[in-house]
Chains A and B, each alone.
Chain A
Amino acid sequence: MQNLKALSYDLRKNVIDMIVEGKGGHIGGDMSVMDILVELYFEQMNISPENMDDPDRDRFVMSKGHSVEALYAVLAAKGFFPIEQVIKEFSKFGSKFIGHPNNKLPGIEMNSGSLGHGLPVCVGMALAGKMDERDYRVYTVMGDGELAEGSVWEGVMAAHQYKLDNLCAVVDRNRLQISGCTEDVMAHDSQEERWSSFGWHVISINGNDYKELKAAFDEAKTVKGAPTVIIANTVKGCGSSIMENKAGWHHKVPNAEEYAQIMKDLEAGKEAALHE
């Protein structure tokens, strides 16, 4: 079996290179969400370049579209496009690799970037699956700051109303947004209580831990009659001490010195993962 944790460090390095080369990117949220995406694409979802047109493929919507760099790295590792091309062209003049997901690229279903759209769109996808009696599953990843958008909660209600057990939402609960801690900007605790009061099955985990991620997604597949939310408690900037849990790294381009340190930290993380 592939060592997903080790892979995630390589993909984080790809993200750093993209951001330095493209002179911009949402680095902190890329790092926190990486393990969720790797688990989904390499372990959970039946999505690959070969089955992109298969009506039974699982569906994924990157609701926190600003973390597109992490998605690009994962899609490249899945073979949708060469990583070298992404790193070279990201954000550059005329590029297809723009700063938010765009479905002109293979592997991307829905355009995003404006927060609070992913979950309601997934409700539609999950409803269609029920209507057509298909057994694909629908996944979305949201930011925790994103949950202040009212549209999220409209989708939450609809998913419960229609008993969408084929829908699994993930909250990248890194406790930070642009202006600081989520609890200072617009308090969210307790996520667990909020979602369960809306009738959702709630699983709370360490979202940077592959054992817990796998167990949570596996459990979600067994739930009948209700949608599942995974509250993935993560570390923003995960992988390098200089970025971890610092709001300032929401959107930042590392300088040469920071770049060297981050790459060193990521390499050390990979080494440790290989010897776990």
Chain B
Amino acid sequence: MNKIPNRQAICEVLMEKAKEDKDIVVLCSDSRGSASLAPFANEYPKQFVEVGIAEQNLVSIAAGLAKCGKKPFAASPACFLSTRSYEQAKVDCAYSNTNVTLIGISGGISYGALGMSHHSAQDIAAMSAIPNMRVYLPSDRFQTAKLIEALLKDEKPAYIRVGRNPVEDVYTEESCPFEMDKATAITEGTDAAIIACGEMVGPAVKAAELLKAEGINAAVVDMYCVKPLDKEAIVKAAGNARLVVTAEEHAPFGGLGSMVSQVVARECPRKVVNLALPDAPVITGTSREVFDYYGLNADGIAKTIKENL
């Protein structure tokens, strides 16, 4: 079982790249520990900016740094980054088109028992609705690393969401196919297409395995690039299947499910079922308990497909 959370994979890439690239700057808001970025802060104190518990300041300072040639990565819990500093993300990053990478850590319901103040089940919807903001939810540590490397190569704003806990590997060190802004088709299938992002990709792959044993073929698409959404990949997977199921750690509105539904309705109409968190504060528990309760796991995805085929 993998013990490296995606946030740590981010730190490892940034530390490696910062050896050569002195313009990489990491910013934290009393969040370096929870972001796994303390090693970066210790190793590169001159490329690290601590702003204290001030997420609005965090994002605006990052934008100012970017405007003057730096490559800032601002990391804070996704719940605060995507709400408290939403306007800074909209105006200073997206609207002014600054090269800021926002890293939302402990995203979704990672902080299970801490209550709704600490959940970010609205971040995909919020961030995606901003013109010029890109939104990424990588599925495992290998993909996370490739994504950070790719983001270092362009100069546009982006929001990344990762969870707190290590997630089981979807890919391997040797085999992690990655093309920027192109979804990864993990398996193909003609009965159903499962389109998932972030921590739901692992369970989607397992669900496809469960279904295969019962003679049902499900395609699995890892839509880590929620925005810009890979429409071609959706049309390809959905077009081959009778049913589309989306799975995401997000509110039922405005997330991956809504976006996939829009594409399928227009391009290749067929039934789409969205698996997501409820439109309510989620039940108290660890993220595993919460996922299980709402059927956001391999069994839940497989069951949904069987019920709807």
Which residues of chain A have a CB within 8 Å of any CB of chain B?
22, 24, 65, 91-96, 98-100, 102, 111-116, 145-146, 148-150, 177-179, 185-186
Contacts and interface: CB of A to CB of B under 8 A. Distances in A.
A98 B109 CA distance: 13
Interface stretch (B45-53, B141-149, B187-195, B255-263): B45-53
B114 A99 contact: yes
B113 interface: yes
B30 A100 contact: no
Contacts of B116: 111, 113
A111 B117 contact: yes
B114 A186 contact: no
Interface in B42-64: 50-54, 56-57
B57 A65 contact: no
Contact of B284 (A95, A114, A177): A95
Contact of B30 (A94, A99, A116, A177): A177
Contact of B84 (A65, A99, A100, A114): A114
Contacts of B118: 99-100, 113-114
Chain B binding site: helix, strand, loop or mixed by DSSP?
loop
B285 A24 contact: no
Interface centre among A91, A93, A177, A178 (most CB of B within 10 A): A93
Contact of A102 (B57, B79, B84, B115): B115
Contacts of B284: 91-96, 98
A91 B285 CA distance: 7
A180 to B, nearest CB: 9
B33 interface: yes
A146 B289 CA distance: 31
Contacts of B115: 98-100, 102, 111, 113
B126 to A, nearest CB: 15
6 contacts: A98-B113, A100-B117, A113-B114, A177-B30, A178-B31, A179-B50
B113 A99 contact: yes
B270 interface: no
A65 B283 CA distance: 19
Given A98-B284, A178-B34, 11 more contacts: A100-B115, A100-B117, A100-B118, A113-B114, A113-B117, A114-B83, A148-B57, A150-B54, A177-B53, A178-B30, A179-B33
Nearest to B32: A179
A257 B211 CA distance: 48
B80 interface: yes
A26 B28 CA distance: 20
B221 to A, nearest CB: 32
B33 to A, nearest CB: 6
Enumerate the 6 nearest inter-chain pairs by beta-carbon distance, A residue then B residue, closest first. Answer: A186-B52, A113-B117, A148-B52, A99-B114, A91-B113, A93-B285
Interface string B73-90: 000000110011000000
Contacts of A114: 79-80, 83-84, 117-118
B191 to A, nearest CB: 34
Contacts of A185: 30, 50, 52
A22 B114 CA distance: 11
Nearest to B283: A94
A252 B116 CA distance: 21
Given A111-B117, A145-B52, A148-B51, A93 B33 contact: no
Given A179-B30, A185-B30, A115 B53 contact: yes
Given A99-B115, A113-B115, A150-B57, A94 B52 contact: no
Contacts of B53: 115-116, 145-146, 148-149, 177, 186
Contacts of B54: 148-150, 186
Contacts of A115: 53
A65 B80 CA distance: 15
A186 B289 contact: no
A177 B50 CA distance: 13
Most buried by A among B32, B50, B117: B117
A133 B136 CA distance: 52
Given A93-B283, A178-B30, A179-B50, A150 B56 contact: yes
Contacts of B84: 114
A78 B302 CA distance: 49
A114 B79 CA distance: 9
A148 to B, nearest CB: 3
Q: Which of B30, B56, B114, B289 has the most CB of A within 10 A?
A: B30
Interface in B287-306: 289
Contacts of B52: 145, 148, 177, 185-186
Contacts of A186: 50-54
Contacts of A65: 117
A115 B80 CA distance: 10
Given A114-B84, A149-B53, A93 B30 contact: no
B130 to A, nearest CB: 21
A92 B33 CA distance: 24
